[in-house]
């Protein structure tokens, strides 16, 4: 077909939801475009395969940031999924919605209709929680959310130690009080990774009104007389134009969505003109407001039996492989991000600003992105700053649509980010020094017992810290001069064009961002149906 009612760009966490929900109405012809190919790969399906996907360029954009002034000039590797399911096909599968105050803050910043009470129903709508339906969870939605099949005793001891350090154990990190310590839930179904694509799109591929085009690069959105009318695509070495009779929805993710808008003439006018791109709409906020979580890594050597490291090296990894192949059991059926403690760096804060994750495995990130399990029994922690003050940007390097844009996240540019992360490292040390987990600790390997002063801990964060791969905010919602979309996700000044993905977040959520992106897709689809623009002649 040369035209569709709705064209959705990107089959990731938000786009798959939008396409699936819009195609529930058989009168809508829906096209879902994906730059990558199929995700039917063993290490995509196996939850513990995340580390092997970091460098798999066949399904990964494999981006790098610009050097950061406050992180010792380092460039940070940013894996982003380029396949069915998007980054949800390569992430850690942690299901965290964020804190209610995150969404109330969105509403206060001009995104009316996105407060906690208004978004909670969309979280619930998506979810099929293994614990069943409740006031805070869905029991029959498309997306499977489950508890880990195995709970390592070291993690149990960590959670008990957190209680002894004053952080209460809670039964659900996604329900009141939205603070405390517990195991994570994950988007895993019967030992296999669940993505938005496998949950929302794959089961309905039989619908005649839903078309999925893979290995299709969108080069630009066509804008005519102030409206988005179609897309120019590249398949192999052939270019085509496909028209949209109703709307185009950009769900390419927080890095690629602003890039695509810029290539289409929507962005800061002077920058676009300097690149030789005709300006369709001067929107200086496109690509601005980039936010990400930054974390301080910690590693402890522990006693034998207190870590999965040995089982994931040598012959042990083959044993685990057989377990998984025979019954989808064992360590390969688990996410390594097992648990978290949500706490505040100061009692004066209204909500937790620290997420202290402990994993029953330790590994080293190498500068080019490789992940290697350590050769000693170890556990690793990530002390994540949940609401950083630092802001970065995405900018255009070239008018060539196949050239990657430039990413400057400006990690730690807000001095308070480093200060609070240092407090988090100290809090993590305090928990690990408490019984019963302390009995398992042999030695602190990273940053090491010699690193004690604030400045030394801050230098550790600069030299060894890494990101949460939770980039958001680059096409933010609002009504001010630097916002890109209005609260109904319509691009300011361009008709029949919306953005629906993590880029629309005004501020980053307090936790992993996959679940909020799925919620954004649900709410976007609902608003598009409610607005129901008339079809136009797409000839």
Task: Give residue 478's region: left, alpha or beta (phi > 0; psi -120 to 50).
Answer: left
CB 32 within 8 A of CB 20: no
Tokens (6 digits) for 107:
């509403």
Q: Is 502 annotated as a binding residue?
A: yes
The C-alpha atoms of residue 488 and residue 174 are separated, in whole angstroms, by 25
- What are the start-end ranges of the H helices in 378-481? 415-432, 454-464
Where do the DSSP E strands lie in 28-76?
30-33, 63-64
The C-alpha atoms of residue 406 and residue 397 are separated, in whole angstroms, by 6
Residue with tokens 């938000």: 14
Q: Is 474 annotated as a binding residue?
A: no
Assess whether 99 carries a catalytic annotation: no
Q: Is 145 annotated as a binding residue?
A: no
Where do the DSSP E strands lie in 427-503?
441-446, 466-467, 497-499
Find, among 68, 73, 70, the residue nearest to 418 by Cα: 70
Tokens (6 digits) for 201:
């799109």
Q: Is 469 annotated as a binding residue?
A: yes
Q: Is 218 annotated as a binding residue?
A: yes
Phi, psi at 57, each rounded to 5°: -70, -15
The C-alpha atoms of residue 58 and residue 56 are separated, in whole angstroms, by 6
| CA distances for 457 relative to 449, 462, 508, angstroms | 11, 9, 25
Q: Is 191 annotated as a binding residue?
A: no
Q: Is the peptide bond before 447 cis (omega within 30 degrees of 0)?
A: yes
Find, among 22, 37, 513, 538, the residue nearest to 249 by Cα: 22
Q: Is 92 annotated as a binding residue?
A: yes
| CA distances for 39 relative to 24, 127, 191, 215, angstroms | 24, 22, 16, 12
The C-alpha atoms of residue 35 and residue 259 are separated, in whole angstroms, by 14
Q: Is 470 annotated as a binding residue?
A: yes
Contacts of 40 (CB under 8 A, 6+ apart): none
Q: What is the dihedral of CA 80, 82, 83, 85, to 10 degrees?
A: 40
- The active-site residue, picked from 293, 460, 470, 492, is 470
Q: Is 464 annotated as a binding residue?
A: no
Q: Residues forming the annotated binding site for FAD? A: 87, 91-94, 218, 469-470, 502
Q: Residues forming the annotated binding site? A: 87, 91-94, 218, 469-470, 502
Q: Which residues are catalytic?
A: 470
């Amino acid at each position: 077909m040369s035209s569709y009612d709705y064209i959705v760009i990107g089959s990731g966490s938000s786009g798959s939801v939008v396409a699936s929900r819009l195609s529930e109405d058989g009168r809508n012809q829906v096209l879902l475009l994906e730059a990558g190919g199929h995700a039917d790969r063993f290490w995509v399906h196996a939850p513990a395969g995340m580390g092997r996907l970091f460098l798999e360029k066949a399904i990964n954009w494999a981006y790098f940031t610009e050097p950061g002034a406050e992180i010792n000039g380092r460039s940070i590797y940013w894996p982003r999924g380029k396949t069915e399911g998007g980054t949800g096909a390569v992430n850690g599968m942690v299901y965290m919605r964020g804190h209610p105050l995150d969404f109330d803050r969105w509403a206060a910043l001009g995104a009316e209709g996105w407060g906690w009470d208004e978004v909670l129903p969309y979280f619930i709508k998506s979810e099929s929680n293994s614990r069943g339906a409740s006031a805070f969870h869905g029991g029959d939605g498309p997306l499977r959310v489950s508890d880990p099949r195995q709970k390592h005793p070291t993690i149990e001891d960590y959670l008990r130690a957190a209680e002894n350090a004053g952080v209460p154990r809670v039964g659900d990190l996604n329900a009141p009080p939205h603070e405390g310590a517990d195991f994570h839930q994950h988007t895993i179904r019967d030992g296999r990774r669940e993505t938005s694509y496998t949950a929302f799109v794959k089961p309905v591929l039989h619908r005649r009104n839903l078309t999925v085009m893979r290995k299709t690069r969108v080069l630009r959105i066509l804008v005519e007389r102030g409206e988005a009318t179609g897309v120019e695509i590249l398949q192999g070495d052939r270019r085509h134009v496909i028209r949209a009779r109703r709307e185009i929805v950009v769900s390419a993710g927080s890095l690629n969505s602003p890039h695509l808008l810029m290539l289409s003439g929507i962005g800061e006018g002077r920058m676009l003109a300097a690149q030789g791109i005709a300006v369709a709409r001067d929107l200086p906020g496109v690509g601005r407001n980039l936010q990400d979580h930054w974390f301080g890594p910690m590693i402890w050597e522990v006693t034998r039996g207190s870590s999965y490291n040995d089982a994931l090296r040598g012959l042990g990894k083959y044993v685990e492989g057989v377990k998984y192949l025979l019954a989808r059991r064992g360590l390969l059926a688990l996410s390594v991000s097992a648990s978290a403690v949500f706490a505040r760096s100061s009692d004066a804060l209204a909500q937790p600003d620290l997420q202290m994750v402990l994993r029953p495995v330790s590994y080293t990130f190498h500068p080019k992105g490789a992940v290697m399990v350590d050769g000693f029994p170890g556990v690793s922690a990530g002390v994540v700053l949940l609401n950083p003050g630092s802001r970065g940007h995405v900018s255009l390097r070239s008018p060539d649509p196949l050239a990657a844009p430039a990413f400057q996240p400006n990690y730690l540019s807000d001095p308070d980010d480093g200060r609070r992360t240092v407090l988090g490292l100290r809090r993590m040390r305090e928990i690990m020094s408490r019984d019963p987990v302390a009995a398992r600790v042999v030695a602190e390997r990273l940053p090491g017992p010699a690193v004690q002063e604030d400045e030394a801990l801050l230098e550790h964060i600069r030299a060894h810290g890494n990101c949460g791969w939770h980039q958001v905010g680059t096409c933010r919602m609002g009504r001010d001069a630097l916002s890109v979309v209005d609260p109904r996700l319509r691009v300011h000044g361009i008709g029949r064009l919306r953005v629906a993905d993590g880029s629309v977040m005004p501020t980053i959520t307090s936790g992993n961002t996959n679940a909020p992106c799925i919620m954004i897709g649900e709410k976007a689809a609902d608003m598009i149906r409610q607005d129901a623009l008339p079809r136009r002649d797409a000839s």
